[in-house]
Structure 1
Amino acid sequence: MLTSLQVTNFAIVEHLDIEWQSGMTTITGETGAGKSIAIDALSLCLGERAEASMVREGADKAQVSAVFDIQNLPAAKHFINEHELGDNTECVIRRVVAANGRSKAFINGVMVPAGQLKTLGNLLISIHGQHAHQQLNKANYQLSVVDSFADHTELLNEVKTSYNQLQSLEREQKQLAQTLQQAAAEKQLLEYQVAELDEFALATGEYEEIEQQHTLLSNANSLLEGTQKELQIIYQQDNFNAYSMVQSSANQIAELASLDKKLAPIADLLFEASITLEEAARELSHYQDSVEMDPSQLSELDERISRALDLARKHDITPEELPNLHAELQQNLANIEQNDERFNELEAEIARAKEHYFACASVLSESRSAAAKALSEQVTKSLVSLSMENAKFAICIEHQESVTSSKGSDTVDFQVAANTGQRLQPLHKVASGGELSRISLAIEVIIADKMTTPTLIFDEVDVGISGPTASAVGKLLRQLGKSTQVICVTHLPQVASSGHNQFFVSKTDDGTQTNTRMTVLDNSGRIDEIARLLGGTNISDITRTNASELLSQYH
């Protein structure tokens, strides 16, 4: 629960230091005094958007600090421990707004993003605004009311998860369909190109090999003639060849070496040279045997090279690059074919995802229907105490056999029959402003009673209510205050007197600045304030007596 609130230089507040009690606390004050200022400050403290206009005129910053007792709030304690923000049973939240609108947020002295404040704030306080009844005619709000009452978060999460999965698959299918549509013409071209290259089937490095083979075959005669001529010169001519001349010289030098041993190494070199020449001649002879004269093979090579050149020109690449292009085009075609397969797979996956969504949505719908029936009965019962004795309230849940949203496939319609003999009709068609306020308040109290939030704030939710109805509202809120902390900003004396505690908001003007103050009222002060609410500025003994009687009902 909220235990204290400190506000400095916020709007028209110079300084507030408020201690809060358990039970129901009412806040009253003159029109324009700023009765909701504490609520606005709390909202800022708990993560609402900060603006420069929140800083008091002339001040360099505004600051709001709130202290909460969380010893009986496991969710809040878990959040604080999970984010390493302390492990105390007390939680201190602080928000600082500079004059330029920039803000800083702190939890237990640790600076945090404003989003974390908001998350934690939802575990600490629930604020019900004065315009809640204006939301009552909106379908989304009606759906959220039923879901809050049903408290089926797990079912909602299951539907949301299944919906998101379905949406993801449908987005993938849509994108894939566009890709396939764009690739349709490309696929035909690819199939033709790949088939053409498949048929030619040029292997990596093959073009270089056939070029070399073609060169050999086309120059076979020249190679044979040239090698034969040199073979004759080196070894085969009878009257003159290099081998016989070197051999002869070697023999001559060897004979001379018997006279001078210095010539012996030279003779050895010549003998080695003759051996080398003989080996060269032998290799040339073997080479001649290997040279092929095959016109048919040469023709085949001519045709293959010509085809390779044609394909290379067609694709604007070199013939050597054809194998890589072939592999690339095959992969591109495979990708398109895989997309075709994936598209077919998606059809089945989407069908299964829809089936799962409908199953989850159906369970959620059943839970909503049960909750709607129970809530309708409770609201109808509450309306009796709110001077709508003959009213009947009903919530119509209609389940759609189609994928609607992440919240399921239900439409919700709040209906009311305000008087005996009238048929139920949609709320927005038949309910007056006052009736809307009472219905809204009944729902707010019922929903709030089911919530685990330790502090409930009602900011002038009793607009449009007066007389005996106001007394019933006060009793409802006081009853709620027995199980949770209730803070209620009100202008009704019947509601104000029902609180366990009461604050009075006043505004002063010293000619240069306006300042708002909040004062806790004792019994005497409460009598005076409730008398003011009853009789206006002229407080008489009669209004005091009436005020005292109102208070005596509860104290």
Structure 2
Amino acid sequence: MLVHLSIKNFAVVKQLSVNFEAGLTAITGETGAGKSIAIDALSLCLGERADAGAVRKEAAKAEIVAHFSLKGNSGAVHWLGEQELDSEDDPEGCFIRRVISREGRSKAFINGTPVSLQQLKSLGQHLLAIHGQNTHLQLLKDDMQRQLLDNYAGHHSLLDNVALAYQSWRQKQSELKQLEQAAQTRTDRQQLLAYQVEELNDFALAEGEFTELETEHKRLSNGQSLLEQAQTSYYNLFENDEGNALSVIQHSMDRLAELEAHDAALTPIIALLNDASIQVEEASHELRAYCDGLEIDPLRLQQVESRYSKSMELARKHSVEPENLYALHQDLLAEFDQLNDQETRLDSLQQEVTEARESYQLAAGVLSESRKKSALDFASEIEKQIRKMNMAHACMSIDVSFNSEAAPSANGQDAIIFKVSTNPGQDPDRLDKVVSGGELSRIGLAIQVIASDQHATPTMIFDEVDTGISGPTASIVGGLLRRLGKQSQVMCVTHLPQVAAQANNQLFVSKITDGASTETMMLALTEQDRVDELARLLAGDTVTETALANAKELLKSVESN
């Protein structure tokens, strides 16, 4: 629950420090005094966006600090632990601080650690719920009515099943749509690939074959020249009797060897000539073997030339280098196989989409049956509560209509409509066609009471939700709020004495001005102060003895109950 709220330089508040108690706390004051300032400040602590206009005039920044007790609030304790934002000094407490600068910049802290607005909102769900003057208008929306029914039913696992089935169907549907949209393009591409792959399959160029063909083609097409030049070179190096290269080297080496004794400088030269002699002799033998092995085969040349030319032709046709023709062939084969797989996938996916839709409708049907069952109990409880609030003839019903032909959604295929009849003989109809603002407030409050019985929020704030009601109805509304205060900490901004009298505690908001500036203050009222304030609410500006007596009687009647 909320323990303490400190506000500094926020709107018309210069400095405000308020302690809050358990039970129902009524917040009253004159019109325009700023009774909703605390609610606005708490909204910022729970992640609402702020602007520079929130900073009090001439102040550099606004600061709001809210202290919550987490005793019995396992949800908040668990969240803080997961986020590593819990306090070692105060494990059952939580401090939220929000600072807004004059320039509109904002900082947020949980237990002294900087956090994002999203984290504030996430934690706020475990701490406090604010029901403003426009909250009940949300009841007129179909989505809110569905959400309220689902919260009452508590069938979270059924909702999860429907959401998962919907997601699965959407994914398969999206994949099917993409494949179907690409069907014609895929067919055209398959036809082209079928021709290209068949042509390349028939040619069947092996990996690295073109390089080998190119090498062999050069050798065969120049075979005669290679043979003639090789034979001539062999003759000049080794066989020419009139003087070959080997005999010239050996003769020079012999002559120099005779002179080596006269000059040792010839020794390395003789060694080089000896090496040259050996190299020439080996080269001669290699040339001889080359000539013996060189074959001039016109038929093989024709075969190689034909395959080489076909390779060049196919490479030009596919706009690739001849060396890359084999790799292109493999890529086209892979793409062709992939397109064929997609065609097969299209057939199987159509069946999967049908099955996913059936699974979704089955889950949505189970959820619908649970909603129908819960709708009877929920409507009955709402009706029971609003009849206590001067709507004695009200009849409440909740229509749940399952439509298997409706477009699937993550929330099922139900149309959920809250209907009410407020007068005898009147057929139930939609809320927006039947109820007044005051009646809508009562229905909304009844739903809050029922929801609180099931899922109590530690702190609940109602900002003038009693607008449009008065007299005995106001007393009943006050009693319901007091009942809520037994389960949660409840604060209610009100202008009705019947509601304020039901409070366990009461705060009074006032404003003072020196002509140049205005300041809002909030004070806890004593028993006598409460009598005076209730008398003011009953009588207006002029408080009479009768009003004071009525105020005392009002408080006494509450205490006796």
TM-score, scaled relative to structure 2: 0.89
What's the counterpart of residue 434 of structure 1?
A: 438
What's the counterpart of residue 294 of structure 2?
A: 291
Give a deviation string over 1:157-196, Cα, whole Å, max 9, x none: 3333332333333333334444555444333333332322
What's the counterpart of residue 478 of structure 1?
A: 482
1:414 alignment partner, SS class: strand
User: What letter is aligned with 2:11?
Assistant: A
The answer to whether the 8 Å contact 2:14/2:519 transfers is yes
What's the counterpart of residue 242 of structure 1?
A: 244
Equivalent positions of 1:235-314 (< 5 A) are: 240=242, 242=244, 282-314=285-317
The answer to whether the 8 Å contact 2:221/2:301 transfers is yes
Query: What is the rounded CA distance, in whole Å, between the counterparts of 1:26 and 1:460 in structure 2?
Result: 10
User: What letter is aligned with 1:311?
Assistant: L
What's the counterpart of residue 74 of structure 2?
A: 74
After TM superposition, give the deviation of residue 343 of structure 1 in Å. Answer: 3.8
The answer to whether the 8 Å contact 2:388/2:476 transfers is yes
Correspondence 1:47 to 2:50: no
Change (3 A) 1:502 1:272: closer
Query: What is the rounded CA distance, in whole Å, between the counterparts of 1:444 and 1:250 in structure 2?
Result: 121
Query: What is the rounded CA distance, in whole Å, between the counterparts of 2:123 and 2:273 in structure 1?
Result: 103
Change (3 A) 1:509 1:288: same
Give a deviation string over 1:396-455, Cα, whole Å, max 9, x none: 111221453222222110011212222222222222333222222211221233223111
Equivalent positions of 1:56-455 (< 5 A) are: 56-85=56-85, 86-87=87-88, 88-232=91-235, 240=242, 242=244, 282-401=285-404, 402-455=406-459
Change (3 A) 1:421 1:241: same
The answer to whether the 8 Å contact 1:391/1:417 transfers is yes
Query: What is the rounded CA distance, in whole Å, between the counterparts of 2:317 and 2:48 in structure 1?
Result: 66
Query: What is the rounded CA distance, in whole Å, between the counterparts of 1:264 and 1:25 in structure 2?
Result: 121
Query: What is the rounded CA distance, in whole Å, between the counterparts of 1:525 and 1:266 in structure 2?
Result: 129
After TM superposition, give the deviation of residue 285 of structure 1 in Å. Answer: 4.2
Change (3 A) 1:537 1:295: same
User: What letter is aligned with 1:485?
Assistant: Q
Q: Bigger CA drift: 3-12 or 529-538?
A: 529-538
User: What letter is aligned with 1:29?
Assistant: G
Query: What is the rounded CA distance, in whole Å, between the counterparts of 1:544 and 1:483 in structure 2?
Result: 31
* RMSD, matched Cα: 3.1
Query: What is the rounded CA distance, in whole Å, between the counterparts of 1:58 and 1:260 in structure 2?
Result: 115
After TM superposition, give the deviation of residue 43 of structure 1 in Å. Answer: 0.9
Change (3 A) 1:242 1:454: same
Query: What is the rounded CA distance, in whole Å, between the counterparts of 1:548 and 1:483 in structure 2?
Result: 27
Correspondence 1:492 to 2:496: yes
Query: What is the rounded CA distance, in whole Å, between the counterparts of 2:130 and 2:120 in structure 1?
Result: 15
Change (3 A) 1:270 1:81: closer
What's the counterpart of residue 460 of structure 2?
A: 456
What's the counterpart of residue 547 of structure 1?
A: 551
Q: Bigger CA drift: 540-549 or 40-49?
A: 540-549
Correspondence 1:513 to 2:517: yes
Change (3 A) 1:329 1:511: same
Q: Bigger CA drift: 499-508 or 348-357?
A: 348-357
After TM superposition, give the deviation of residue 341 of structure 1 in Å. Answer: 4.2
Query: What is the rounded CA distance, in whole Å, between the counterparts of 1:511 and 1:251 in structure 2?
Result: 127
After TM superposition, give the deviation of residue 251 of structure 1 in Å. Answer: 12
User: What letter is aligned with 1:197?
Assistant: L
Q: Bigger CA drift: 127-136 or 57-66?
A: 127-136
User: What letter is aligned with 1:523?
Assistant: E
1:216 alignment partner, SS class: helix
2:22 alignment partner, SS class: coil
Segments of 5+ residues of structure 2 without an aligned counterpart are none
What's the counterpart of residue 534 of structure 1?
A: 538
The answer to whether the 8 Å contact 2:438/2:466 transfers is no
Change (3 A) 1:390 1:260: closer
TM-score, scaled relative to structure 1: 0.90
Q: Bigger CA drift: 326-335 or 197-206?
A: 326-335
The answer to whether the 8 Å contact 2:246/2:280 transfers is no
Query: What is the rounded CA distance, in whole Å, between the counterparts of 2:220 and 2:166 in structure 1?
Result: 71
Give a deviation string over 1:369-403, Cα, whole Å, max 9, x none: 22211110101111211111111101111122145
User: What letter is aligned with 2:318?
Assistant: H
Change (3 A) 1:283 1:418: same
What's the counterpart of residue 26 of structure 1?
A: 26
Query: What is the rounded CA distance, in whole Å, between the counterparts of 1:155 and 1:339 in structure 2?
Result: 35
After TM superposition, give the deviation of residue 146 of structure 1 in Å. Answer: 0.8
Change (3 A) 1:395 1:291: same
User: What letter is aligned with 2:479?
Assistant: K
Change (3 A) 1:361 1:422: same
Change (3 A) 1:527 1:308: same
After TM superposition, give the deviation of residue 99 of structure 1 in Å. Answer: 1.1
After TM superposition, give the deviation of residue 132 of structure 1 in Å. Answer: 2.4
User: What letter is aligned with 1:463?
Assistant: T
After TM superposition, give the deviation of residue 278 of structure 1 in Å. Answer: 6.6
Q: Kindly, what percent of the aligned residue pairs are identical? A: 46
The answer to whether the 8 Å contact 1:253/1:266 transfers is no
Q: Bigger CA drift: 346-355 or 516-525?
A: 346-355
The answer to whether the 8 Å contact 1:180/1:339 transfers is no
User: What letter is aligned with 1:202?
Assistant: L
Change (3 A) 1:523 1:308: same
Correspondence 1:6 to 2:10: no
Query: What is the rounded CA distance, in whole Å, between the counterparts of 2:277 and 2:455 in structure 1?
Result: 112
Q: Bigger CA drift: 326-335 or 364-373?
A: 326-335
Change (3 A) 1:419 1:214: same
Q: Bigger CA drift: 439-448 or 178-187?
A: 178-187
Query: What is the rounded CA distance, in whole Å, between the counterparts of 2:10 and 2:246 in structure 1?
Result: 120
Give a deviation string over 1:318-351, Cα, whole Å, max 9, x none: 3222223223333333443444444445434434
User: What letter is aligned with 2:46?
Assistant: L
The answer to whether the 8 Å contact 1:233/1:240 transfers is no
Give a deviation string over 1:349-378, Cα, whole Å, max 9, x none: 434433443333233223322221111010
2:558 alignment partner, SS class: coil
Q: Bigger CA drift: 140-149 or 423-432?
A: 423-432
Query: What is the rounded CA distance, in whole Å, between the counterparts of 2:298 and 2:211 in structure 1?
Result: 20
User: What letter is aligned with 2:535?
Assistant: A
The answer to whether the 8 Å contact 2:246/2:281 transfers is no
1:554 alignment partner, SS class: helix
Q: How many residues align?
A: 553
